[in-house]
Each structure stands twice: as structure tokens, then as C-alpha cells.
Amino acid sequence: MELSADHIRSLQRYDLRILKSLEHLMERYAIVPAEEIAADTRLSLQEVTYRVRNLIDIGMIRYQAVPYTGYALLFNGYDSLALHTLSKKNTVGSLGCRIGEGKESVVYEAMGLGTLVLKFHRVGQRSFHTVRKNRDIIPDIGHCPWIFASAFSAQHEYHALQALHQLIPVPVPIAQNRNCVAMTEIPGTTLNRCTVSDPEMMWTLILSHIRTAYQNGFIHGDLSEYNVMYTGTSPVIIDWPQWVDPSHKNAFDIVSHDVNTISTHFRKKYAMDISLSEALETVIA
């Protein structure tokens, strides 16, 4: 179900109390018994039962009857908690349309003091163990770790953007809460969807940005033509949740994969003669 501004606005304080209760009780339960929610929120069981029906209807939580009756927070509910907090802090004034979706995130347009992009990290249940294996920073927390892994993923990306936005072109981070990162909008399109007028210059700039990031402690970890934006004048590197430090045990393989992937795009699309070994030497020398 699509994240809905109307649904978020409709939430009353008892609804929010139940969502927050589920958020922390899911460290102990995969499915939270209604009695536990009632005890934690200090609401009557009757009130909880009434409230959860609406939260189920709007896709924020789910009900499960086996092996016992209980409820679990869904990503729409977790997203809504993050957005509610950012709204209270006056970071976000209104939610716009979904403008993108990746393997582990959904992206919405929003308005704050200007146009914003909201990236909701959604490390899925099925992919969690693979993600954790590949990303050392994500711990195995609680009975529903994919929810908490999404918050760690957002924190990880936000940290990179904070460190890098004054060094290389990346989205400027505005705020982060739970699994959501609010950042500036980047006008333009990704490299796979456009033809640049001067590919030699573009390649040189991208390689320079990879080098600067590397020298300052960041290897992107998932670099490709799909996460480099072209603004008409310069490349902007987006999507940083998988970054690793150059001291990582697999750092050389990871940065090699980044450079090889993006150089392959330029070799195929623009018939450029690029030496991977020379490009790598430029980055890590």
C-alpha cells in the first residue's frame, strides 16, 4: 500500500502511541500480543482492539492469529512514525508523490523550506541476512531485525552525506529519523537515462569524486550509472547506504568493483578507452 499523507494526518495520539509501542516491543516479539500493547500504552484492551483495526485497514500494521493473536508493525507504519517526527520538527511540511523505488528503499518528493527528497530505507525481511553479511554495520537486533536494520541503514547513509557534501557533489542531508533521510532535491537524471555532451570530462570528474571520497574515508560500495545523477553540468553521486571505510577488509575489492562498474558504462556507451588499473591507481594512490 502506498504511503499516504491523508492516512498520516488521520493518526490520533492513541494511534501513534500504539505504533511507537509496537516499534520497541518488536525487539522482544516477532508478533506483539494485544495484551502487551495495552500494558505498554496504558490503554484498555478494548481501546487497543478498536485502534488496531483502523491501523490494519490503512496498511500500517498487520494482524496474525497463529501461533497466538498479535500484531506487527509494517514499513508504512514505521515510515509514518519517521514522517510524523520530521513534521513536528518542521523539517517536512507536506508529502508528495513517490518518485523512485530501489531494492531497499522508496523515495518521495516532499516540501519543507523548499523541495525535499525523502528516502525511506526498507531493508526487507527476505534480504536481511544477505544485507547483514555484506554490511558489517548492521546488527542482528530483536525478532524483526529488518525494521531496525532499515534505521541503521538510514543512519549510515546520513553520516556519509554529512561528511561528503562539502567535499564532492552529493545530496545535502537535511535530517534523519528512524529509516528516513531527508535531503535536497537533485535536478537532472541518472547517467543510464541520458547522453552527456562531454563523456571524457564526465568520467574525469566522477573518478576525481571517487578519489576524494576515498581519501576522506568513504568507498561508495554500489556505484553504477544508476546512482550518478547528471545535472547538465556535473555528476552528483547518490545512494550511499552501502559505503565502507578504506580500512575495511574487502576495501580493495569493493572500490575495484565500483570503478569497474562505472567505467564499463563509459566504455560501452561512449566507446571510451579506459584502463581499469590506471583508474584504480588514480583513486587509491
**Coil/strand/helix, residue 256:** helix
Q: CB neighbours of 166 closer than 8 A, spacing ≥ 6?
A: none
Q: What is the pLDDT of residue 143?
A: 57
Peptide bond before residue 67 is cis, with ω within 30 degrees of 0: yes
What's the number of domains the chain is made of? 3
- CATH number for the domain spanning 145: value is 3.30.200.20
In-domain check, residue 87? no
- The answer to whether the beta carbons of residues 232 and 256 sit under 8 Å apart is no
Q: Within a domain: residue 86? A: no
170 pLDDT more than 60: yes
pLDDT at position 95, please?
96
Question: Average pLDDT in the 173-190 region?
Answer: 96
Residue 152 belongs to a domain: yes
Res 140: pLDDT = 58
- The residue type found at 11 is L
pLDDT over 70 (residue 103): yes
* pTM for the structure as a whole: 0.92
Domain boundary (138, 167, 184) is at 184
Length of the chain (residues): 285
Residue that is written with C-alpha cell 525487539 in the block: 27
**243 in the same domain as 200:** yes
- 138, 157, 184 - which closes a domain: 184
Instruction: Band the pLDDT of 128: cuts 50, 70, 90.
Output: very low
CATH code for position 266: 1.10.510.10
Residue position matching grid coordinates 579506459:
274
Residue 175 and residue 199 in one domain: no
232: closest CA among 170, 187, 285?
187
Ranges of beta strands (E only) in the chain are 32-33, 61-64, 70-73, 94-101, 105-111, 115-121, 173-177, 180-184, 189-190, 228-230, 235-237
Q: Inform me whether the pLDDT recorded for 129 exceeds 60.
A: no
For residue 176, give its domain range: 93-184
pLDDT in tens, 20-41: 999 999 988 989 999 999 999 9
Q: Tell me what pLDDT residue 285 has.
A: 85
In a domain, 81, yes or no: no
Find the Cα–Cα–Cα–Cα dihedral 242, 248, 254, 258, rounded to 10°: 60
Per-residue pLDDT, averaged over 262-284, amounts to: 97
Take residue 187 and report the three cell numbers written for it.
Answer: 535536478
Is the model's pLDDT at 273 over the cut of 60?
yes
131-148: per-residue pLDDT in tens? 445 555 555 555 556 788
For residue 88, being part of any structural domain is answered with no
Q: What pLDDT digit, counting tens, does each position of 41-88 carry?
A: 999 999 999 999 999 999 999 999 988 889 999 999 999 999 999 999
Listed range (22-31, 158-167, 178-187, 217-226) with the worst mean pLDDT: 22-31
- Which of residues 76, 108, 135 is at a domain's end? 76
Taking the C-alpha atoms of residue 52 and residue 36, their distance in angstroms, rounded to an integer, is 13
**Do residues 242 and 171 lie in contact, with contact meaning Cβ atoms separated by under 8 Å?**
no
Q: What share of the chain is helix, strand, coil (3-state, %, to 5)?
A: 45, 20, 35
| Residue of higher predicted confidence among 99 and 127 | 99
